[in-house]
Amino acid sequence: MSKTMNDNRLHGDPGIADTAGQDGRGLSLEMPKQRDRAVTIFEKSKAGRRAFVAPELDVDAQPLDDLIPARMRRTEPPRLPEISEPEINRHYKRLSTRNFDLDEGFYPLGSCTMKHNPKLHERIAALPGNARLHPAQAPERAQGALELMYELQVALGEVAGLPHVSLQPSAGSHGELAGVLLTRAYHEDRGDHRTKVLTPDTAHGTNPATVTMAGYEVVKVGTDPDGGVDLEDLRAKADDQVACLMLTNPSTLGLFDRNIEEIASIVHGVGATLYYDGANLNAVMGISRPGDMGFDIVHYNLHKTFTQPHGGGGPGAGPIAVSDRIEPYLPRPQVVQGDDGSFVLDYDRPKSIGRLRGFQGNYGVFVRSYAYILSLGGDGLREASETAVLNANYLLARLREAGVAEYLPVAYDRLCMHEFVLSGAPMKRELGLKTLDLAKRLLDFGFHPPTVYFPLLVDEALLVEPTETETKETLDAFADTIAEILREGEQDPEIARNAPYTTPVRRLDEAGAAKRPVLRQPL
Amino acid sequence: MSRYTSATDADRREMLDAIGVETIEDLFADIPAGVRLDRPLDIAAGLSEQDVYARMRRLASRNVSTEDEISFLGAGMYDHYVPALVDNLLSRSEFLTPYTPYQPEISQGSLQVMFEYQTAISEVTGLPVSNASVYEGPSAVAAAGYLARLHNKRGRFLVSRGLHPHALETLRTNAHGFGATVEELPLSDGVTDPDALAAAMGDDVAAVFLAQPNFLGAVEDLEALAPLARSTGALLIVAADPLTLGVLKPPGDFDVDICVGEGQTLGNRLDFGGPSFGFFAVQEHLVRKLPGRLVGETTDVDGRRGFVLTLQTREQHIRREKATSNICTAQALNALAGVIYLSWLGRHGITELAELMLQRTAYARAELAALEGVELLHEQPVVREFAVTLDASVDRVIERCAAEGVNPGYALGRDFDEHPDGLLVAITEQRSRADIDRLVSVLGAAVTAERTGVMA
Ligand SMILES: Cc1ncc(COP(=O)(O)O)c(C=O)c1O
């Protein structure tokens, strides 16, 4: 059974009465609740209120003028809110109820691996030895942290099949930047000045954006009818000016490239490096390793595969693993184990590309991901990937059923890996419903929609990634709901076109927001 | 042992039947034999939750945290008090577990938080527009460099030696990729030398980078430096320490083009260096080149107020190779901590906190400078951090202090060859006068012992 709209905690819309409800289509709706009007914390400010009480001034106060010349001092305090602690608490608690989150329900956001975030991890990350450890603490007095980082490097290296790991990059795209800069350093060190980087047309936007930031020109490679890299096109474009091919495998179509060995040999044949965008690593842990596929550089998204909660847009971490020939260029510092078994930060890396950020990386994220690896072990990681692929194929099988497949055909008719792409093009043609409409209608049923309009290659794309932590019942409920929305669309497409109805706000004027940007609270 | 999955054997059988394959193995038929792993991963078997906890607790106990010693370490991250309110709100799954708000109708919580955060950062920095966060301080500096390069297409960066050394190095790493060069501006008596800046300026300078206060703790004279830096069409980028802006004139007052910085001090824990957040604020004319997410106000079809990600034509998912940055996942949760913290401090609290640090820092500075063998490295105004020189090996003095449960600060020689004898000392509101007095006595004894050759 799919969730009804009334199960949705975010419900309560007067708007529903005058749209869907009125035309008597039998949608079972409770009396709508009044929605809160959005009021910012700045608008709740009242002169004289406060939360902060400063610790006592326990030294003799000196005149400010003696400490900092008046001309350097602020004359007006920043107009931060004046508000009491109970009111701050209530404000943000209420705001939180205007979010849908992973702990609330199914979140099949393709390419994002929204798997369960184990609660143990928060407890461990909050231990004072982690949370209150200063990043400049002497290594001798941070041995636990350095050992953790070292062990995480080893485990991640084993998963990727590449021996050298840097944990420093802060997210996937930061790992990509590190990887392309490493590629640059590798070629330059050999006196080889190349100008181009290849990215498939299925690539995530961060790939081409990274290439430009690293000073290369992007050259697009096509996709063959099977969903793999077009080998002819690749051969035509791979020349001695190509520094690197960035590839996601399984790709953003959820397909494992069967020609990966051939691709690697073409790329290496022209002296270029092969870069692995690890956003989709959740499909292949313990099954197939990027290093064994021929990749030179890999990034991981610890906030996808390795359970760091996504936080509504970060934090994450994007460690990289590399082959021997790339190792000399890794960022500084590296965590290494000395002869006496202790762990140190190694800065003495003359060929390093240098730092990508401050200190040692997002350690709090490493803590969570390492706890996850300890919990699952090698076999558990493999089982996670197997189950992720099983869940995706099962959901795909359910969505291939009559009543759905004619509107939402799978873009590439193969077994998928951990995710798959449907095209809403027939739905748009037959029912006049866009992928966006389907996504918005799903909100009324308590589901987070799949990734929409990505990859760009597929018309009206829906990229669906269920992950291994969901039950068969949840997958069934989602498939049933898609079918139900399509039935509803056959009868009256207006319902989905105007959805959602049950959310804290309904469709928002994004064009208007961009045309007349209001980017802060006017005060 | 994947305890976070839910498929039973019966589920598996039913699911495989529905798919129309025999075994799970069959699902991986596309993977060529040559690239399959033909052995188990060499990672130890999974552990029970309590065993994982015990193992992780043991590791954590081998770290000396700021709860285990009296710490005066700073150098970019600081041991400020994080109110319980922050922990409590950040642990709500509604904030902790969603993805980036791609579906605004069910993400109004996160989106409004970002809008409020942008407002708070704009107020603190004195610049009109802030984005919704970047990774952290040093990468924010590098991102500002990239923006400058996009903006005026020039290739020279002039960087004060007072910039955080990690920021300087991160900028170098990035600039090498996008083809800009980095030149350092020397310090004179602890602050950026205006004559050196004036001499280095030219119409090929893309941007000038200053830090406020700088890495040696000194307050820079932005009033004097800003007009020089902006004289030839270069962008002026200031990396600021946000809590000190409770007492210092905000960068916006000097018409700086970009103000970036490390947000850790705003309600984020130390976490051995991350995750924290970087803030990124600009003048109006640079809005369309901002990196990362930006939230704007709008209305829904019923006229209700709402918030959306906006001006997305800057971003990688729309513009791909023409994007103004590659950033995607940033630091939303840490920025939430930032805006909760700034609301908790409030309009007057931020100044009260800054003034408290100012007074205690002045006290500590005077007390330390009075010690035999300790001198001020510079006499410029400071807010929460200052530099001294020791007439003794800094590393050995630090070790002696550590043995007494005091961490006296950061050895400047780690980054500054010219200051092998330098020590950087930070005084947050968590260090009381009694703590400072203890530092003075322990450090004084350590310096004396080193100078007189007493065995440690
Ligand atoms: C395929 C792919 N590559 C790269 C990224 C970028 O990762 P991050 O958001 O961690 O920077 C994503 C994120 O959605 C992705 O799906």
Share of chain B above pLDDT 70, in %: 99
Query: What are the CA-CA distances from residue A265 to residues A216, A238, A274, B180, B255 (Å)?
Result: 22, 11, 10, 34, 54
Is residue B453 very low, low, confident or very high in pLDDT (cuts 50, 70, 90)? confident
Supply the pLDDT for residue A295: 98
Tally Cβ neighbours within 10 Å of residue A514: 17
Supply the pLDDT for residue A423: 98
A-facing residues of B in 148-177 (CB < 8 A) are 164, 166-167, 169-170, 172-174, 176-177
Average pLDDT over residues B139-161: 98
Between chains, do B298 and A374 touch, taking CB under 8 Å as contact? Answer: no
Between chains, do A132 and B79 touch, taking CB under 8 Å as contact? Answer: yes
Provide the angle, in degrees to the nearest 10, between the axes of the packed helices B433-452 and B332-369.
60
Comparing A29 with A114, the larger pLDDT belongs to: A114
CB within 8 Å of A191: residues ≥ 6 apart:
none
pLDDT in tens, A26-75: 344 444 445 778 999 999 999 999 999 999 999 999 999 999 999 999 99
CB within 8 Å of B101: residues ≥ 6 apart:
A312, A313, B107, B110, B111, B114, B309
Q: Whose CA is nearest to atom 9 of ligand 1?
A: B329
Supply the pLDDT for residue A16: 40
Minimum-distance CB partner of B73 among A109, A134, A174: A134
B-facing residues of A in 53-82 (CB < 8 A) are 54-55, 57-62, 64, 67-69, 71-75, 77-82
Q: How far is B28 from chain A (nearest CA, A)?
A: 7
Minimum-distance CB partner of B347 among A77, A218, A261: A77
Between chains, do B3 and A89 touch, taking CB under 8 Å as contact? Answer: no
Q: How far is B160 from chain A (nearest CA, A)?
A: 17
Specify the domain boundaries for CATH 3.40.640.10 within chain B.
84-342
Supply the pLDDT for residue A263: 98
Is residue A2 very low, low, confident or very high in pLDDT (cuts 50, 70, 90)? very low
Q: Is A285 in the pocket of ligand 1 (CB under 6 A)?
A: no
Query: What are the residue ranges of helices labelled H in B249-388?
Result: 316-319, 332-369
Residue A13, pLDDT > 50, answer no
CATH fold, domain B84-342, is Aspartate Aminotransferase; domain 2 (3.40.640)
Q: Whose CA is nearest to atom 8 of ligand 1?
A: A172
Is A461 part of the contact surface with chain B (CB cutoff 8 Å)?
Answer: no
Residue from A360, A335, A344, A279 nearest A151 by CA: A335
pLDDT in tens, B220-236: 999 999 999 999 999 99
Alpha carbons within 13 angstroms on the beta-carbon side of residue A388 total 35
A–B: how many Cβ contacts below 8 A?
Answer: 749
pLDDT in tens, A246-277: 999 999 999 999 999 999 999 999 999 999 99
Between chains, do A387 and B5 touch, taking CB under 8 Å as contact? Answer: yes
Supply the pLDDT for residue A98: 97
Mean pLDDT of chain A: 94
Between chains, do B79 and A177 touch, taking CB under 8 Å as contact? Answer: no
Q: Is A169 in the pocket of ligand 1 (CB under 6 A)?
A: no
Residue A23, pLDDT > 80, answer no
Residue A522, pLDDT > 60, answer yes
Is B122 part of the contact surface with chain A (CB cutoff 8 Å)?
Answer: yes
CB within 8 Å of A266: residues ≥ 6 apart:
A231, A234, A235, A238
Supply the pLDDT for residue A282: 98
Supply the pLDDT for residue A6: 41
pLDDT in tens, B291-327: 999 999 999 999 999 999 999 989 999 899 989 999 9
Is B295 part of the contact surface with chain A (CB cutoff 8 Å)?
Answer: yes
Minimum-distance CB partner of A393 among B19, B329, B331: B19
Query: Residue B431: in which H helix or E strand, if any?
Result: none
Q: How far is A166 from chain B (nearest CA, A)?
A: 15
Share of chain A above pLDDT 70, in %: 93
Ligand 1 atom nearest A252 alpha carbon: 1
A-facing residues of B in 209-238 (CB < 8 A) are 219, 221-223
All domains in chain A, ordered by first residue: 142-361 (3.40.640.10), 379-510 (3.90.1150.10)
Between chains, do A134 and B432 touch, taking CB under 8 Å as contact? Answer: no
Average pLDDT over residues A163-189: 98
Average pLDDT over residues B167-173: 98
Between chains, do A61 and B359 touch, taking CB under 8 Å as contact? Answer: yes
Supply the pLDDT for residue B456: 61
Backbone angles phi, psi at B172, to 5 degrees: -60, -45
Q: SS3 of A482, please?
A: helix
Supply the pLDDT for residue A22: 37
Residue A56 CB burial class (10 angstroms; 0-12, 13-18, ≥19):
exposed
B-facing residues of A in 313-352 (CB < 8 A) are 313-317, 331-332
Alpha-carbon distance of A253 to A415, in angstroms, equals 11
Q: Ligand 1 centre and the CA of B448: distance in Å?
A: 55
Supply the pLDDT for residue A3: 41
Minimum-distance CB partner of B328 among A38, A45, A206: A206
Chain A residues within 8 A of B362 when measuring between CB atoms? 59, 62, 67
Is B404 part of the contact surface with chain A (CB cutoff 8 Å)?
Answer: no
Q: Is B15 in the pocket of ligand 1 (CB under 6 A)?
A: no
Residue B149, pLDDT > 50, answer yes
Average pLDDT over residues A220-225: 97
> Which value does ipTM take for this structure?
0.98
Ligand 1 atom nearest B100 alpha carbon: 9
Is residue B162 very low, low, confident or very high in pLDDT (cuts 50, 70, 90)? very high
Query: What are the CA-CA distances from residue A271 to residues A192, A267, B148 (Å)?
Result: 10, 7, 33
Residue A15, pLDDT > 60, answer no
Q: What is the 3-state secondary structure (H, E, C) of B273-310?
A: HCCCCEEEEECHHHHHHCCCCCEEEEEECCCCEEEEEC
Minimum-distance CB partner of A314 among B32, B170, B329: B329
Average pLDDT over residues A476-480: 98
The count of residues in chain A is 523
Chain centroid to Cα B140, Å, comes to 8
Supply the pLDDT for residue B454: 78
Q: What torsion do the CA atoms of A396, A397, A401, A404 make, to the nearest 10 degrees? A: 0
Residue A18, pLDDT > 90, answer no
Between chains, do A159 and B346 touch, taking CB under 8 Å as contact? Answer: no
Alpha carbons within 13 angstroms on the beta-carbon side of residue B147 total 30
Alpha-carbon distance of A263 to A471, in angstroms, equals 36
Chain B residues within 8 A of A45 when measuring between CB atoms? 347
CB of A465 within 8 A of CB of A112? yes
pLDDT in tens, B354-392: 999 999 999 999 999 999 999 999 999 999 999 999 999
Assigned CATH for B70-79+348-452: 3.90.1150.10
Of B3, B13, B38, B43, which to mutate for an interface test with A (greatest number of A Cβ within 10 Å)? B43
Share of chain B above pLDDT 90, in %: 98
Supply the pLDDT for residue B3: 82
Q: How far is B313 from chain A (nearest CA, A)?
A: 9
**Prediction pTM value:** 0.96
Between chains, do B326 and A176 touch, taking CB under 8 Å as contact? Answer: yes
Residue in chain B nearest A155 by alpha carbon: B43
User: Which DSSP category does B433 fall into?
Assistant: H
Minimum-distance CB partner of A101 among B93, B358, B398: B93
Specify the domain boundaries for CATH 3.90.1150.10 within chain B.
70-79+348-452
Q: Is A109 in the pocket of ligand 1 (CB under 6 A)?
A: no
Q: What is the 3-state secondary structure (H, E, C) of A158-196?
A: HHHCCCEEECCCCCHHHHHHHHHHHHHHHHHHCCCCCCE
CB of A257 within 8 A of CB of A211? no
Query: Residue A508: in which H helix or E strand, if any?
Result: none
Supply the pLDDT for residue B110: 98
CB within 8 Å of A249: residues ≥ 6 apart:
A256, A257, A260, A276, A280, A290, A293
Q: How far is B99 from chain A (nearest CA, A)?
A: 5
Q: How far is B33 from chain A (nearest CA, A)?
A: 9
Q: How far is A426 from chain B (nearest CA, A)?
A: 23
Query: What are the CA-CA distances from residue A362 to residues A135, A183, A359 (Å)?
Result: 10, 23, 9
Average pLDDT over residues A194-210: 97
